[in-house]
């Protein structure tokens, strides 16, 4: 035991933890390896050689750029919608008491609890019934259904850790509702909203199932990757794109973790 009270983890526990990490992350490491292989028709192990030419090939593929731009647009707009709706829902549920509040909270988080294929079928049926043609907006609406939940969960947790005395003090000093939200509430929940937005962007960027039912003939980057795996032209290009997807999604997740890891104290509790 250390002098500060901490104890060493047993060797067996360390080995088990290491095995678990390898099990989860070794396949991801293989993506990076195959992105630089000289073999372009199969996943040969060990790779016969390594090259960086696939980076240039991927850069010059217009279909990759089209899919990437569509994914970025979809994720950005979906995240923006989610941040607005998720924040308002969290404020209504956490800052006031009314009949059916818990039911509304359950309905808000339900889309992320349902299997993606159920959400996809439901959205496709709704779009067909309303005679809405498939476009980037149908993809955005589909992604926003679960992105709202991510922002809502982060925001509602932070709202509940923000002392009501701050709002009361602001009102007593003559601030109206908008001023209170802008100068008191928003600074206290901003990191939670930013974290929720980053997580929502990452989820939207690599979403497949709901996109399959709402995209029509369009291809986001994950859909493009699936199509390339079924009808491969240059297998390493798919791995280069997968490597980019990993990098694009891992940084928002890490940033969200660091933004929210110290948010367990109640703001204003000592005032």
Q: What is the mean pLDDT of each run of 10 residues along the chain (271 residues)?
A: 59 78 78 74 71 80 87 90 84 69 73 80 86 87 86 78 62 61 67 80 84 84 81 74 78 68 48 43
Q: How many domains does the chain have?
A: 1
| pTM for the predicted model, two decimal places | 0.73
Helix axes 136-160, 62-95, angle to 10 degrees: 40
177 within some domain: yes
55 within some domain: no
Residue 205: CB atoms within 10 Å: 23
Beta bridge partners of 162: 267
Q: How far apart are CA 26 and CA 20, in angstroms?
A: 10
Question: What secondary structure does DSSP assign to the chain, as a single string?
Answer: --TTS--PPPHHHHHHHHHHHHHHHHHHHHHHHHTTBS--SS--SS-S-B-SHHHHHHHT-HHHHHHHHHHHHHHHHHHHHHHHHHHHHHHHHHH---TTHHHHHHHHHHHHHS-HHHHHHHHHHHHHHTTPPPSHHHHHHHHHHHHHHHHHHHHHHHHHTB-HHHHHHHHHTT--HHHHIIIIIHHHHHHHHHHHHHHHHHHHHT--HHHHHH-TT---HHHHHHHHHHS-S-HHHHHHHHHHHHHHHHHHHHHHHHHHTT--SPBTTT-
Residue 268's pLDDT is 44
Q: How far apart are CA 252 and CA 233, in angstroms?
A: 31
Residue 265's pLDDT is 46
76 within some domain: yes
28 within some domain: no
CATH number at residue 199: 1.10.3720.10
271 within some domain: no
Residue 266's pLDDT is 43
29 within some domain: no
Among candidate residues 68, 50, 51, 71, the one with its CA nearest the CA of residue 59: 68
Residue 77's pLDDT is 92
94 within some domain: yes
Residue 232's pLDDT is 62
Quick: pLDDT tens for 198-217.
888 888 888 888 888 888 78
Write out the two tokens for 72: 């970025």
112 within some domain: yes
Domain limits for position 114: 61-260
């Amino acid at each position: 035991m250390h002098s500060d009270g901490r104890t060493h983890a047993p060797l067996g526990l360390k080995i088990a933890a290491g095995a678990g990490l390898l099990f989860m992350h070794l396949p991801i490491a293989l993506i990076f390896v195959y992105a630089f292989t000289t073999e372009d028709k199969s996943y040969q192990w060990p790779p016969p050689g390594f090259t960086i030419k696939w980076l240039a090939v991927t850069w010059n593929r217009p279909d990759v750029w089209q899919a990437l731009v569509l994914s970025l647009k979809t994720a950005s707009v979906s995240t923006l919608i989610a941040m607005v709706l998720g924040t308002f829902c969290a404020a209504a549920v956490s800052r006031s008491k009314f009949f059916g509040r818990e039911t509304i909270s359950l309905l808000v988080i339900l889309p992320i609890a349902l299997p993606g294929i159920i959400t996809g079928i439901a959205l496709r049926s709704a779009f067909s019934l309303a005679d809405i043609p498939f476009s980037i907006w149908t993809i955005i609406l589909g992604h926003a259904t679960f992105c709202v939940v991510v922002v809502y969960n982060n925001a509602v947790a932070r709202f509940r850790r923000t002392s009501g005395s701050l709002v009361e003090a602001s009102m007593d000093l003559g601030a109206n509702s908008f001023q209170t939200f802008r100068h008191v509430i928003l600074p206290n929940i901003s990191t939670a909203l930013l974290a929720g937005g980053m997580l929502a962007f990452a989820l939207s960027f690599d979403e497949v199932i709901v996109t399959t039912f709402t995209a029509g003939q369009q291809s986001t980057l994950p859909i493009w990757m699936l199509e390339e795996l079924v009808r491969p032209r240059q297998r390493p290009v798919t791995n280069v794109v997968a490597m980019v997807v990993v990098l694009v999604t891992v940084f928002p997740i890490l940033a969200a973790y660091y933004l929210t890891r110290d948010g367990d104290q109640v703001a204003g509790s000592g005032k």
